[in-house]
Amino acid sequence: MDIFSKEKRSWNMSRIRSTDTKPEVLVRSFLHKNGFRFRLHVKKLPGHPDIVLPKYKTVVEVRGCFWHRHPKCKLTTMPSSNTEFWKTKFQRNVERDKKHTKDLKKLGWHLIIVWECETTKKKFPPKELADFVAMHKAEKHLQQNRRTQC
């Protein structure tokens, strides 16, 4: 028996995004360890992105594969009951993501998407995030060297 009413259940689901999920904490500690400073849940940017690095005009979004429909991912399953309800819900999520991505780009922000399935020990950090960190770390290093030479 289902102990939650439909309303209650969808309320629970809508709450999921705003909690500190494990994958998000992992990404945050990775950035922090590498000397990056960021702000969390910035309300004035499209989609209220989770992790914002103002210095690099970069936003890191951690997306749950199931909710945000990671293409070709094994976590992107379709529930076997209430299929129509889910289809509509998922479609809305995907469209919202698309819109936020576009709006961020328009404002000159770079977006790095980290999918939930990329936050396993084996796959983390995903290439785009690793590249971002490596590139800016190298830059920082260079700047520090220049400063000491002057």
The C-alpha angle with vertex 73 and arms to 119 and 5, in degrees rounded to 5, equals 90
User: Rule CB under 5 A: which of 23-52 touch Zn ion?
Assistant: none
Among positions 50, 70, 114, 119, the unique one binding Zn ion when judged by CB under 5 A: 70
Least separation in angstroms between residue 78's CB and Zn ion is: 14
8 Å CB contact between 104 and 112 = no
Between residues 28 and 70, which has the closer beta carbon with respect to Zn ion?
70
Q: Is 113 in the site for Zn ion (CB under 5 A)?
A: no
Alpha-carbon distance of 5 to 12, in angstroms, equals 11
**Beta pairing, strands 51-53 & 39-40:** antiparallel
Alpha-carbon distance of 62 to 88, in angstroms, equals 22
Q: Is 133 in the site for Zn ion (CB under 5 A)?
A: no
Which of 148, 126, 136 is closest to 61 using CA atoms? 126
Among positions 42, 73, 94, 111, the unique one binding Zn ion when judged by CB under 5 A: 73
What residues pair up with 62 in beta bridges, in sequence order?
Answer: 114
Least separation in angstroms between residue 124's CB and Zn ion is: 13
Q: Is 100 in the site for Zn ion (CB under 5 A)?
A: no
Between residues 30 and 66, which has the closer beta carbon with respect to Zn ion?
66
Least separation in angstroms between residue 74's CB and Zn ion is: 7
